[in-house]
Structure 1
Amino acid sequence: MLSWEDRRLMVKVAMLYYFEGWTQAEIAARNNVSRPVISKLLNTAKKEGIVEIYIKDETFHTVELEQKIIKKFGLKEVIVVSTAGFAPEMAKRQLGKTGASYIANHTKEVKSLGISWGTTLLSLVAEYPYEHKEDVHIVPIVGGMGSEYVHLHSNQLAFNLAQKMNTTCSYLYAPAMVESNDLKERLVSSKDIAHVLEEGKNVDMAVVSIGNPFKGATMEKIGYLGPDDLASLRKAGAVGDISSRFYDAVGKELDHPLNQRVIGLNLDDIKKIPEVVGIVEGSYKLESIEAALQGGYLDVLITDDRTAQELADSHNL
């Protein structure tokens, strides 16, 4: 049991440290003891309940969720965006803004940035600030051509992001998915397409989103997937896709005819990229996100608070 003198010293040390802003070294010098003694006193004060630390800020909950998910999945970074009370479009915009900020602040050493496609990445590019990043070259990592929904395609996103960064980009002159394996082989063996695919494999960072093929899928909306395709994917055990590549519940890329007709990086290629940033919102994608994290495809996850809470609480692993 602590003596009155011990408790008094602890309170005095805690007052100086937490309220007066003294350093541990300054307190040690004043009390003629070593700095480790002060550190030990502060730790004991917390254990004994003499000092209780509260963080009073609305962002505490999101930061706590971030740390839980980082530990659970071994990620480099997680950013949880509070979207409570936001309409779906505003939530996506807020996520895009956060993703744009992360990319803008973490591309100092990046020479090439890969980009996939979809509505979430469209929000990121729309929210990206105009700046000078002439050293960064943008590369689409999946095909993106067609006459409909052009604004969502990787080539258009790469071009728009390059404009925002005042830099250069490559173009992958092919659709994300073609009608036959034969056509795919002919396209990927052409010099221009082969060159951009090789560039994509060697980017320093890539930004992707995650899709749930059965709920709100952009690939179905724009005509890449029909009812027969969806039935076939469900039967094969698909739970999600990254860059139009479908994977199962443990994150393994499916050996499926649709995956074989995609023009773009496969999931192993994506896994080898030094830093892959995944931006995804919507708890209906929970299983898709979990499987992608199990597959080890993401290093950084940016998501909304509701999805993050379910991810932290899930016992599916």
Structure 2
Amino acid sequence: MNDVSQEKTRLLVKVSTMYYLDGMNQQEISERLGISRPQVSRMLAAAKSEGIVQISIRNPYSEEQAYERAIAETFGIHDVIVVHVPGADRQMIDLHVARAASALLESSIKDRDVVGIMAGRTIASVGKEMHYADRKDVQFVPMIGGFGSDGGTWHANSNARVFAERFKSRHLLLNAPAVVASPQARDFFLNESEISDVLEAAGKVSLALIGIGQVSDQATIVRSGYFSDEEMQDMRTKGAVCNISTSFLDGSGERVHYDGEARMIGLTIDEIKAIPNVIAIASGEDKVEAIVSALRGKCMDVLVTDMDTAKQLLDWQRKHPAR
């Protein structure tokens, strides 16, 4: 190494030490050494490319991240969070998935965001795990009406209230049922400005948290008493395997139209897809087919799930290619 090269290397080492070990930022290094900030940036890049700086990350989540990348690349979504809790039962896994979703949501919400919240017990579990984050002028909006009259703590209104309480922020209420008796009854509700204004706000949210429902007798829409087992079987006959808000999807992720849509009050899947950032939380063997449908339909930007479900999603995709 000649003298010039040696001195260049010495300076790269000095800049790298100041930045990576001493905790100085690029502007501080620029002022200390009397060189421009862009030059500091170039020197740090050179130090990495020449092997002077070698960054090592101790990663205890390498297996999870391999599945996260595989799912994101397979289905073309922005990101996936996979939670692994070895040896845990379903209840404990669901708790950790909810905590992962809450941490993601806390970091995703920005000042003045309007956040759409879906109904469902899974969404309710995320709300319980939320912590206060200092954000200005955040508002939470329910994206679907209520299921039943039992005052369930998992209704969209209840979920929006819980999230708002955690964030010490405002929330709106959608004072309408999710399913009404007839299309005429739906029109009557939508003619009320108090209801139409909330739905309009829901359609303009910048961030949304949704669950993914399977098409079975365990679906919220059936357990609430609004859809009979026969109606749900009819949906399966039409090819539906997934329920999100007021919409049903088939195995390819395409929307399945049905007569009951005209009785539903809430956002459709097309309106949800138009939201800039949609986070979906779903896990469990019984939901694998539904989650794959939602992934194929590009119904979300980010998926939060668990390791076993992640493996089954990729396995289902291989064994049941979309038509």
Q: TM-score, normalised by structure 2?
A: 0.79
Q: Work out the CA distance in 2 between the residues paired with 1:309 and 1:183.
A: 44
The alignment partner of 1:122 has SS state of: helix
- What does the per-residue CA deviation read over 1:224-263, in whole Å, with 9 as the maximum and x for residues that have no partner? 2212111211111110111142111121221102222210
> Structure 1 residues 145 and 58, CA, compared in 2 at 3 Å: closer, same or farther?
same
Moved more, 55-64 or 197-206: 55-64
C-alpha contact (below 8 Å) 1:95/1:304 kept by paired residues: yes
Query: Which of 278, 281, 285 pairs up with 1:276?
Result: 278
C-alpha contact (below 8 Å) 1:215/1:284 kept by paired residues: no
Structure 1 unmatched ranges of 5 or more: 1-16, 24-28, 43-52
C-alpha contact (below 8 Å) 2:111/2:136 kept by paired residues: no
The alignment partner of 1:114 has SS state of: strand
- What does the per-residue CA deviation read over 1:91-149, in whole Å, with 9 as the maximum and x for residues that have no partner? 22111111111010111255200000111101100111134434111000111253225
Q: Is residue 205 from structure 1 mapped to residue 207 from structure 2 by the alignment?
A: yes
Which one-letter code corresponds to 1:207 in the other structure?
A: L
What's the Cα RMSD here? 2.8
Which one-letter code corresponds to 2:119 in the other structure?
A: W
Structure 2 unmatched ranges of 5 or more: 1-12, 21-42
Q: Work out the CA distance in 2 between the residues paired with 1:35 and 1:58.
A: 27
Q: 1:163 Cα shift?
A: 0.8
The alignment partner of 2:92 has SS state of: helix
Which one-letter code corresponds to 2:262 in the other structure?
A: Q
Structure 2 residue aligned with 1:177: 179
Structure 1 residue aligned with 2:31: none
C-alpha contact (below 8 Å) 1:70/1:77 kept by paired residues: yes
Structure 1 residue aligned with 2:265: 263
Query: Which of 186, 189, 194 pairs up with 1:187?
Result: 189
Q: 1:85 Cα shift?
A: 2.1
The alignment partner of 1:247 has SS state of: strand
Query: Which of 138, 141, 158 pairs up with 1:136?
Result: 138
Which one-letter code corresponds to 1:117 in the other structure?
A: A
C-alpha contact (below 8 Å) 1:110/1:204 kept by paired residues: no
> Structure 1 residues 111 and 37, CA, compared in 2 at 3 Å: closer, same or farther?
closer
Query: Which of 41, 64, 67 pairs up with 1:65?
Result: 67
> Structure 1 residues 70 and 227, CA, compared in 2 at 3 Å: closer, same or farther?
same
> Structure 1 residues 258 and 84, CA, compared in 2 at 3 Å: closer, same or farther?
farther
Q: Work out the CA distance in 2 between the residues paired with 1:155 and 1:265.
A: 14
Q: Work out the CA distance in 2 between the residues paired with 1:222 and 1:63.
A: 37
Q: Is residue 166 from structure 1 mapped to residue 168 from structure 2 by the alignment?
A: yes
Residues 1-317 of structure 1 correspond to what in structure 2 (within 5 A)? Answer: 38=50, 58-109=60-111, 111-144=113-146, 146-148=148-150, 150-214=152-216, 216-313=218-315, 314-315=317-318, 316-317=321-322
Moved more, 98-107 or 80-89: 80-89
> Structure 1 residues 121 and 36, CA, compared in 2 at 3 Å: closer, same or farther?
closer
Q: Work out the CA distance in 1 between the residues paired with 2:112 and 2:287.
A: 29
The alignment partner of 1:270 has SS state of: helix
Q: Work out the CA distance in 2 between the residues paired with 1:226 and 1:309.
A: 32
Which one-letter code corresponds to 2:89 in the other structure?
A: A
**How many residues are matched?**
280
